[in-house]
Amino acid sequence: MDMPNLRWWGWGTLDQSYSLDGRPAFWPTLQQWLELPDESIEHEIPPVPLNDISLPPPRLDNASLAFLYKLLGKEAVRTDKQARVEHAYGKSYRDLVRIRAGYIPHPPDVVIYPADEEQIATLLAWAADHDIAVIPFGGGSSVLGGVEPEPGDRPALTLDLARLDRVLSIDPVSRTARIQAGATGPEVEAPLNARGFILGHFPQSFEFSSLGGWIATRSGGQNSIGYGKIEHMTLAVRVVTPVGIIETKDTPATAAGPSLLQTLLGSEGTYGVITEATMRIHPLPTVQDYRGILFRSLEDSIAAFRDLMQSPSLQPAIIRLSDAPETAAYAVMSHEHHGLRHLANRLIAGYLKMQGYDLTTGSTLMLLGFDGDAEWTAQQWNLALELCADHRGLSLGRMVGKSWVRERYAQPYLRDTLLGHGVMVDTLETATTWSNLIHLYEAMIKAMKEAIADTGGGPGYVMTHISHAYPQGASLYTTFLGRQVPDPDPLAKQAQWQAIKQATTEAILAAGGTLSHHHGIGRDHAPWLEKEIGAVGIEALHALKNTLDPAGIMNPGVLLAP
């Protein structure tokens, strides 16, 4: 039921990693950027062994366990240490520093794997009667505390949807597909691709996250410009709530009052359990042509990005613009070459500098791509290259695109390595209009750098890319690195992170950015939600919560702060 060989203490599976072999510039440059002590580079601190972790005993009595065994079967009810540890946290920095240290004071008391909606409905009714919290769980890749049990005395049950993993039907005429919520990215795409279709949702967590999790958090895939965010892809949903099943109608549009569908999207398991959805699908493209474009400045590249998005003739699948620090990081991460390839790279670097471009000192790199047939994509590229040239953009060809596609799902593994070497690394994301983009970018970066320094993180390193764009604006996705506080207590590391998170979030909201563009709310953003939607909006969400979940058992503390 669970994906085998998972890293319970980090990202992905044990047989995968982000190899630093052949990247000789990485550690020396990182040490310089962060002013890391030599011992941090030379010695890696591993996570505690699973056997050394002590968990509080499950709080369910024998009668409760007997009920669950009868309802689900013993193989679908787990109280063992590994299952409880794997479902205790998501994958944020705060989660990982605690789990690597073995600090898990509030794990779920039991993890269950229902096989159908009937089992889920029976379970929710039973949990409401017994005051047991229920946490829906997809792939567990939440980075905002969306799957962590709340502190307190109430028992918590994690409901893992891994057994609801099928594409139930495909309608090629209407171009829709009914899919169960527990299906992971590969489990969604493989059957669709075999029939000549694609959903097109490719978050960095694609291999491990699930359809239900995407819908519950309003996720955005890396190709959202071409295929839309998950809320644009979702035609209808079925949700099992503690008071009954909600099923929205699978019509392309409706004027039947306020949209219940849009209310359920982004609800993060607080109203019920998403069990399946009807999704809009697209013909599988025959060509995916992704290339790199280099610009002399951030201003030039943002102007080109905006023109690409506002052009009536262009339909890009992906645009991802790295600022100068992220562009420099990509250069540092590149593989070392020898012989003729090394000589060619030196000649290319010399040529770029002569033309006013430099990957390490100010230039910005755009990844631009089109999905479609060969003739159409060629026409799109002719128009796009002409537009980029108007903003002094220089095409670097397909090599950049191929490299990005090759490593697009591997980069999160690097975070595990960095954590072992005393490096703090996390991300924040937001979005705003084009006219406010530079103002928000500058305010966010300034607040983040100051907070890193103020919390003992050293000079830090902050890098941003712009993506998930629209004709009206775009998303900013920022990664920050700094030195971890030397205190081995994971709560000290959490406090350092929390101070940076708070300062940056306050700066984002003050500068007109949204609280979250595609990561959701979880526990971490819940304290700021009222600033985003207002006091009346919060009251409305509480009223809906009280209607659909009167006992308050569904993912308490997530989305709506206690």
- Would you name the residues annotated as active-site residues? 477
Helix H segments across 368-527?
374-389, 399-407, 412-420, 437-454, 490-510
CB 484 within 8 A of CB 423: yes
| CA dihedral angle for residue 393, residue 399, residue 402, residue 408, rounded to 10 degrees | -60
Strand partners, 480: 426, 462
State the pairing for strand pair 273-280/234-241. Answer: antiparallel
> 366 to each of 101, 166, 204, 298, 369, how far by Cα in Å?
38, 36, 18, 10, 10
Instruction: Enumerate residues 6+ apart whose C-beta is below 8 A from 456.
Output: 483, 485, 496
Structure tokens at 46: 């591993």
Angle between helices 324-333 and 26-34 (to 10 degrees): 140
CA separation for the pair 370, 289 (Å, rounded) = 5
Structure tokens at 308: 């690409």
Strand partners, 425: 481
Instruction: Enumerate residues 6+ apart whose C-beta is below 8 A from 172.
Output: 195, 196, 197
Structure tokens at 73: 């079967």
Task: Report the 3 state secondary structure along 309-335.
Answer: HHCCCCCCCEEEEECHHHHHHHHHHCC
- Residue 518 CA, chain-centre distance (Å), reads 7
Residue-by-residue DSSP string for 533-553? HHHHHHHHHHHHHHHH-TT--
Residue 59 phi/psi, 5-degree rounding, is -95, 5
CB 6 within 8 A of CB 14: yes
Listed residue (540, 548, 545, 543) closest to 246, CA to CA? 548
Q: Which secondary structure element, helix H or strand E, spans residue 32, and what is its range?
A: helix 26-34
73: region left, alpha or beta (phi > 0 left; psi from -120 to 50 alpha): left
Strand partners, 160: 137
CA separation for the pair 287, 196 (Å, rounded) = 13
Residue-by-residue DSSP string for 454-490? HTT-TT-EEEEEEES--SSEEEEEEEEEEEPPS---H
